[in-house]
Amino acid sequence: MADLTLHEDPLSGNCYKIRLTAALLGIPLELRRYDIMRGETRTPEFLAKVNANGRIPVLQIGSGESARFLPESNAACWYLAEGTGLVPGDRFDRADMLRWMFFEQYNHEPNIATLRFWLSFIGEAHLSPQQRAMVPAKRIAGEDALELMDNHLASRVWFVGSEASLADVVLFAYTHVAEMGGFRLEDHKHVCAWLGRMAALPGFVPME
């Protein structure tokens, strides 16, 4: 595999997913760090060269003129893990893994990660009226996501199949810090047990 560079902010769970995937697989990543609170991913250079969407993480493959850039955290995890034990060999299970990864980006991250960012990094007192108006709906939707996960894990060790997969990795990232967004993890005991299994995986690295 070509040299890999992760453009990231260490506070971001979306970035942590990729570091965790690489760590579980023993793949070395060079880190290039940005501070999203200071707008460092909105500079003309970043938008032109790294990601026109102005967002991190971006996984850079190769360097110099031939470098290629892959935005979207879950796509970067896929790039690293395809063909490894973190992607199931069965066709249905592979699609089912992607199902949980799309669930993560649609139902989980916009609620749980956003409330974490708003409450723990921006601070409740500094929210805009628009943001403040959205908190109750995000609270309910985030709780629904955790409840759905808890029910699913009631009869399962991992989200898909019989081994940890990218579905577990990407859902772990913002679930294990959900309390920073005001969610009570102890209400979801199957989720808590699964968080413990994740942290015990060989090669596991914690979020910083």
* Cα–Cα distance measured from residue 71 to residue 60, given in angstroms and rounded to the nearest whole number: 9
Q: Which of 31, 37, 63, 151 binds a copy of itself (CB under 8 A)?
A: 151
Contact pattern for a copy of itself over residues 33 through 52, marking x by CB under 8 A? -------------------x
Q: Which of 11, 98, 192, 201 binds a copy of itself (CB under 8 A)?
A: 98
* Cα–Cα distance measured from residue 182 to residue 175, given in angstroms and rounded to the nearest whole number: 12
Query: Are the C-beta atoms of 146 and 191 separated by less than 8 Å?
Result: yes
Stretch that binds a copy of itself, among 17-25, 29-37, 113-121, 128-136 (CB under 8 A): 128-136
Q: Which of 49, 152, 190, 197 binds a copy of itself (CB under 8 A)?
A: 152
Query: Are the C-beta atoms of 77 and 13 separated by less than 8 Å?
Result: no
Based on the shown chain and the rule CB under 8 A, indicate whether residue 79 belongs to the binding site for a copy of itself. yes
* Cα–Cα distance measured from residue 129 to residue 106, given in angstroms and rounded to the nearest whole number: 23
Q: Which residues bind a copy of itself (CB under 8 A)?
A: 52-53, 61, 68, 70-76, 78-79, 82, 91-92, 94-96, 98-99, 101-103, 105-107, 109-110, 130, 133-134, 137, 148, 151-152
